[in-house]
A and B are shown apart, each in its own frame.
Chain A
Amino acid sequence: MALVLQTVDLQKRFGGIVATNDVSLSIEKGARHALIGPNGAGKTTVINLLTGVLRPTGGRILLEGEDITDLEAHKRVHLGIARTFQINQLFPDLTPLETIGLAVSERLGMGGQWWRLVGSKSAVVEQAVEVLDRFHLADVMHERTATLPYGKQRLVEIALAIACRPNVLLLDEPAAGVPEAERHDILAAVAALPKDVTVLLIEHDMDLVFSFADRISVLVNGELFVEGAPEDVARDPRVKAVYLGEEADA
């Protein structure tokens, strides 16, 4: 299988803290890959490095063999990497329709046009409405995002990444804080993505991880600890020690 995303000895230091310590990940095309680990393990930092929010202090990032280590964040999106944030990062004053429309028109290369009115390209509106409808956001698409309940905002957060039609989707705890009933919507939408879309999922809920992932990487203290198929990771005594040991200690 072809590798889509690869990191080579990726490292990130924040002063004295080594948040990412020589992480070498290999993610195959179409993989449903989970990245797990205790709080503060450095999972979010890895996503920030992959998406260009942070620059690594060492190592390289390859997208389909191309070095993108120094590429600006927005260019990585154009190459097909999209993400969601652990803590919602939305546009509070815009409506969900405008929000999703932004991502669509950017993807279609119309985001910088200043002579055209918003909404005058039917392709943008149609695609935006389709995404909103898929996430059950159509009924609130004209409201200010800031006024939406948390669950709806979380859906906008996920829908916004999907609207970028990524080849590689990085999900940072997408179901965090979402009530059980709405979790299903999010997971169903992720599960319904085309098979060739590669997904990297950070998640704490182990049931969810094991039902979703075909491969799991465990990160502890910034280091890649174990990587393998779900069954193997589940059986690995070291993983048990990290997870169960923590609980036993606590």
Chain B
Amino acid sequence: MMAAEESGDASRTLVAQANAALAARARWSPLEIAFWLAAAASIFLFPTKHLILTEIAILGLFALSLDLLLGYAGIVSLGHAAFFGFGAYAAGLLAKYHVVNEPVLALLASGIATMLLGFVTSFLVLRGSDLTRLMVTLGVALVLREIANRLEITGGADGLQGIVMDPILGRFSFDIYGHVAYVYSLIMLFALFLVARRIVNSPFGLSLRSLKGNPLRAAAIGIHVNGRLVAIYTIAAGYAGIAGALLTQTTQFASLSVLDFERSADVLLILIIGGTGYLYGGLIGAVLFKLMQDWLANLTPQYWQFWIGLILVIIVLVGRDRITRTTDPIRALVQRATDRVWSGVRGSG
């Protein structure tokens, strides 16, 4: 009787520990909160920089989308611009032909349309090695670009012109300084980030990490590997589509460049700079990438791509592992601080 009670207590303690450890994973760290406070503060701190900040937010959302694929499911892509571009044209067409006039609704519609494209093309990347996936994703983007180039409705090489955006929610009109555009983009980025954060911390997200590490074993414990890959590919496509749609809405223009190979390559570069698999890599990478691009372009207008290329090579050669190893102590510190703050909150509450 006594023994049974004791072992009952022991297992309850273990379950409590397990619960605490799992809950800790999804907890907001002070660094994260600081990150988003800084993002919000940028609205007031840099009122003259809203145009480039909007670009950064959109790029960050696009990179977040690729992180969901690459960082969590291990799917490599060299053609992620296919979805960005598709969303961009979708938003353009919706606005130009007055199908959906309200920007937020049009944004959602563009995202859903891109999800459909993602769903259909996901079956092409299920099978095969990383190399096949690179080729297939690249191919899809090239095909899409050529279609946009040929079709009359997309405006071919001239791009989609004559887009006029209605006010957001019928109230906030886009202005030429990009104030409204930046706030709008930032809010969308944050909302979608929250959803992504939820997804990666869910059982579904955990199963993605498992099949990224070992698809053979994932299937052997009953995980429908292909089903999960289709799902995340579809979701990521939707994210990229919304990023593209935001670009069209905030610039009132869509050109073939939204489908360029360079765009796919840039977003991969951004993720490599910022790191994969923790959701902030794409956002931080986008900031660094744009700053670097700006700085290098001013320094050596003709050669900035040379420098970006060189930096990429250095990052890859030095290895992310080594970089993360040097930042590990910082992360541990943040983790400890988080735990203390939260236990403090719980203790006082």
A residues near B, CB below 8 A?
51-53, 72-74, 77-78, 82-83, 85, 89-95, 97-99, 101-103, 105-107, 110-119, 122, 124-126, 128-130, 132-133, 138, 141-142, 160-161, 163-164
Contact = CB atoms under 8 A, between A and B. Distances in A.
A82 B220 contact: yes
A102 B212 CA distance: 14
Contacts of B220: 51, 53, 73, 77, 82-83, 85, 89
Given A74-B223, A118-B202, 5 more contacts: A77-B222, A89-B214, A93-B209, A117-B26, A164-B222
Given A113-B202, A125-B19, A118 B222 contact: no
A94 B198 CA distance: 18
13 contacts: A74-B224, A92-B214, A94-B209, A103-B222, A113-B202, A117-B22, A117-B26, A118-B206, A119-B25, A122-B19, A125-B15, A160-B221, A163-B221
A77 B225 CA distance: 13
A229 to B, nearest CB: 31
A24 to B, nearest CB: 24
B11 A130 contact: yes
Contacts, number: 144
A114 B205 contact: yes
A93 B321 CA distance: 14
A92 B213 contact: yes
Interface of B: 11, 14-15, 17-19, 21-23, 25-26, 198-199, 201-207, 209-210, 213-214, 216-225, 227-228, 231
B277 to A, nearest CB: 9
A78 B217 contact: no
A120 to B, nearest CB: 8
Contacts of A126: 15
Q: Which 5 A-B pairs have the closest CB atoms?
A: A119-B22, A77-B222, A114-B204, A89-B217, A73-B219
Contact of A116 (B14, B203, B227, B231): B203
A91 to B, nearest CB: 4
Interface centre among A97, A106, A130, A133 (most CB of B within 10 A): A106
A145 B21 CA distance: 15
B126 to A, nearest CB: 12
Nearest to A126: B15
Contact of B22 (A53, A106, A111, A118): A118
Contacts of B216: 53, 89
B222 A74 contact: yes
A212 B234 CA distance: 48
Contact of A102 (B17, B26, B221, B227): B221
A52 B219 CA distance: 9
B185 to A, nearest CB: 24
A201 to B, nearest CB: 17
B14 A85 contact: no
Given A111-B204, A129-B11, A94 B213 contact: yes
A110 B223 CA distance: 11
Given A53-B216, A73-B220, A125-B22, A111 B11 contact: no
Contact of A94 (B15, B202, B210): B210
B223 A102 contact: yes
A74 B22 contact: no
Contacts of A89: 214, 216-217, 220
Contacts of B209: 91, 93-94
Given A89-B216, A114-B199, A106 B206 contact: no
B219 A119 contact: no
Contacts of B224: 72, 74, 112
Nearest to B205: A114
Contact of A74 (B14, B203, B219): B219
Given A114-B204, A118-B25, A78 B15 contact: no
Given A107-B222, A114-B205, A85 B217 contact: yes
A133 B11 contact: yes
A110 B23 CA distance: 17
Given A91-B209, A116-B203, A128-B18, A106 B222 contact: yes
A130 B18 CA distance: 11
Contacts of A130: 11
A42 B135 CA distance: 36
A90 B214 contact: yes
Nearest to A92: B213
B25 A103 contact: no
B18 A114 contact: no
